[in-house]
Structure 1
């Protein structure tokens, strides 16, 4: 309930009792009561007339469903983000003062960083045919060691449909360390948007399949690969590999939110952090520099047509492209103190937990995207318990598994 909401924006709300969608109406001054109208309860499809109140104590998650109502896409829209409404002007705002997590390390981006990101769009190429340009793009991607990957479509998963794949290929100066350039910005980069909905399966048979599943392909930085992995496997017969998942990495670097689930015999439910949240907390990006993606949920079949309109609008192309660029910077930030054994185990679980489930289970799992996979929770809690013991022993956070024997930071990736 701490997100920025636009009046009239479509929301998807998850409570312990059920899931709901409706139109944002207002938020009380203390941000403890969310008021929504035109509410529909899922999966019963029961409709409620008038205004419906949700209180902080009962809400597990609130997701924005309507990309067109995002202040990032519509500068000048009145938003409700705190007690004083403000107007977005399309420039970077100061980082939020409220710190919802005790171990957050806010970092402010340079003032000219927004202009820097905009300048990169001149390198964007849209690929909608399997021709010579397609072959050159795939060849360029395969020549890199690490790339950022973003995707959009309708309810990503085996019951959904993939529409666009964005790839960011950073080029680094050979005279400088790659890690430092990932932080400051690569000397140049190439950006590609693949129109998968238009090209279909032939795009994968002619090159994208090799990129996504070959063990020697570039490392792919993705945020929450669970449903993308499921979609690729069941729609295109592609088994995603060589993934660096920033949601897994963030959960290991920062202490996660959790609560005890009484209905599951006292087991702990661990909540994930969205890409926008990670960009705000780790890179210092303000909300008007990020894009709120569509919800990937089995019950929601609304507001997804935007990703299937052709040609793609410049704003949506920019949103998808920026995500792939941000992922490169985010990965470098998170990888500096990452426990790689636990990270590798977490990525393997993320790749397979939805992909290998039966149809009914996979469908239900899309409604719990905000929760960590159950198989990963023990690994995650064990890691943070070790960190607590290390902190009590040395008086600060240390991660001895993230450095080499010679004391240098590890730079190896998941294989």
Structure 2
């Protein structure tokens, strides 16, 4: 597999000919070749009409009939030598599932022009940074994330199960949100740092519903998540405790959890639309970048709120234990050695509370035919007052700034594309990161 990747990388900046199954024929310069046979070309020209396309153009693997060198194109608009889509070299990656059948991708990516996005959005001391190349920002971002103890992680794309298309990965620290453009960075982003972070057991990853992420990362990039706190699982555990042992008929999306546990106004949660194809658009719309950042920036605070909720009974019982010696010192001293390990009446209150909660849940919720409580959706359009004490600030109104200024003090140097693709690059440090930023917990 490594030999195949090296072979595909050798075509970098080569001028090639591409014939599609639809009959269209193009010539362009190779920017990237993905393992699923997808081509990303620049300076693309339609051989039949002579039309020139600005920026980059994506050709999906299942659409390509054959490819060849752009040299010596004959009178019929085809080179003398071509390679079939099912050529032996490309078939080495045939273990990948046909994306057309499994994720219903667009026929082709919208035309776009990317001079190298380095945009950042700041709100006080919190910012998000878009990373679409291995120059300037990639290494400082990886180094900063590796120093954290807790991070929020999310992914965006089409399908996101098994071998479907992963377009973006969002990683949030306490002070920054990094948006990694996986469509442009490719698997090199994982080999050069993301896999190390995601598999590091010393970094706690806060994720809402890790099922799709785990399946997608393992299948596409052979990356296995470790040390995960799933907020969707924690929300179900909280519901189970609050209802005295009943389970809900459904799980909650992230928006509902944020409204329910953080009391965040639903109107401020500008999450991603129902059309996943928007993730293919380049340049990525500003509102989509903002939505992706907001989808992970609250995860760390949500984890703390859920931990507080899950531990509330425990904390209450400990407080009761602490007050026993003050309220009933004589009774406590009268305990014999044989009865000291008997379950105290204070802990038996757990059973009483569970019974009371079950009775309340039976009145509050309806039950379906399999014995699960029907959990109504929260009215996300309504305002919910935050009764919790003020904590850390969050992105509410994100404003654009120049991303190059964000890491202007970084010691990282621009990494040549060929070297960045073939070997890890961890020689640089992010001098702008302070010790205070590193202490995530």
Structure (1 or 2) with the larger CA radius of gyration: 2
| TM band (smaller chain) | 0.3 to 0.5
Give the TM-score normalised by the residue count of structure 2. 0.42
Give the TM-score normalised by the residue count of structure 1. 0.44
